[in-house]
Amino acid sequence: MASPQDNPAQGFTVKKVVLLGTGWMLVIAGPIIGILPGPGGIPVAAAGLVIILSQSYTAKRMFIRMEHRYPRFLRPLRRFIRRGKPAKQARADKPAST
């Protein structure tokens, strides 16, 4: 019998529910913080979206669909989500110096 760890699209663990709740709270807090002076609203909402996308298979599918429809607006968020991965790949491809 497969466990929820084998397929991340199945099952809700306490950690997953807490992270999804935190992500949604950040998304809701983004516009509220945006009213205040300073650039706080958009990064907070983007961080909430990143958390939601990392935990929800359905949200990932919806995001990919929206990205294909509106690439100009969602590509920067996609780069924010994938941040750090190209540097790791560059280190792996780089030959060892002797």
pLDDT, tens only, 48-62: 988 888 888 888 899
Average pLDDT, the chain: 77
The rounded distance, in Å, linking the Cα atoms of 82 and 50 is 10
What residues contact residue 11 under an 8 Å CB cut-off, 6+ apart? 3, 4
pLDDT of residue 96: 58
